[in-house]
Homo-oligomer: A and B are copies of this chain.
Amino acid sequence: MIELKSIPFFVNFSDKDIKMLKDNSTLVNYNANDIVYYERDKPKYLFLLIEGGVNVYKTNSKGRQLHIHTVNPVDFLGELAVFYKIPYHNTTECITKCKILKIDYYKLNKNFCKDLFFCKELVNSLNSRITALMQVVDSSFLTTKERVARFILKNLNEFKDSTYTDISKRLNMTPETFSRILNDFKRKKLIDMDSEHNITIIDKNTLLEISE
């Protein structure tokens, strides 16, 4: 088993808490595309993402996915569901191979992790959830062009590494729409692209105007 104490997240934990945690959790290896939990499931475990990356999204009745959040280590997964005993709000899927600590939270001593440090970590985690949700909410009432302009301005570097299909998922639009907008921007000489997905910004001001 991995040495919890060696993970920065746990440095402030007492030996007693670490032991209790070890006794009531397992470190699980996931592969890419594995589902950690599904929305609407009743929570059983508190997850702690130790290694890898996961996507958090919601699915609607037509199977369409709404991307909400990409979570990186070390962070909680499913914490609200567990603490408030309400169904998971969303589905969490591994992007890469992951190591996730699966904690049987309800078996832990009630006093475990009720200290101020833990609580603060929780607040931080919730803050990042809210920020992510706010961005989703923002994007839900921006046009697709505005969203793409924003993405270009903020995340230019990510174009090299990702496929258009992946980016369009994160922007919650179809690949067709994404493609049309990029070519539209190119035609209007706001950006330039080569065949390698390298984007260069030509007319930053107009992009800023579009993105607001």
Q: List A residues at the B interface (Cβ < 8 Å).
A: 58, 60-61, 64, 66, 68, 80, 83-84, 89-90, 114-116, 119-120, 122-123, 126-127, 129-130, 133-134, 136-138, 140-142, 146, 212
CA distance in complex: A116, B120 (Å): 9
* Contact across chains for A130 and B127 when beta carbons are under 8 A apart: no
Closest 9 interchain pairs by CB? A140-B140, A133-B133, A119-B119, A126-B126, A61-B212, A89-B134, A60-B141, A66-B141, A116-B116
CA distance in complex: A114, B90 (Å): 31
CA distance in complex: A66, B130 (Å): 16
Which residue from chain B places its CB closest to the CB of A142 in the assembled complex? Answer: B60
Which residue from chain B places its CB closest to the CB of A139 in the assembled complex? Answer: B140
With A60-B142, A116-B119, A119-B119 already in contact, the answer to whether A127 and B126 are too (CB < 8 A) is yes
CB-defined contacts of A130 to chain B, threshold 8 Å: 80, 89, 126, 129-130, 133
CB pairs A–B below 8 angstroms (7 shown): A58-B138, A60-B212, A83-B123, A116-B119, A130-B133, A133-B137, A136-B137
Which residue from chain B places its CB closest to the CB of A65 in the assembled complex? Answer: B141
CB-defined contacts of A115 to chain B, threshold 8 Å: 116
CA distance in complex: A187, B135 (Å): 38
CA distance in complex: A138, B57 (Å): 11
Which residue from chain B places its CB closest to the CB of A132 in the assembled complex? Answer: B133
CA distance in complex: A119, B83 (Å): 14
CB-defined contacts of A133 to chain B, threshold 8 Å: 130, 133-134, 136-137
CA distance in complex: A58, B133 (Å): 13
CA distance in complex: A146, B84 (Å): 26
* Contact across chains for A140 and B137 when beta carbons are under 8 A apart: yes
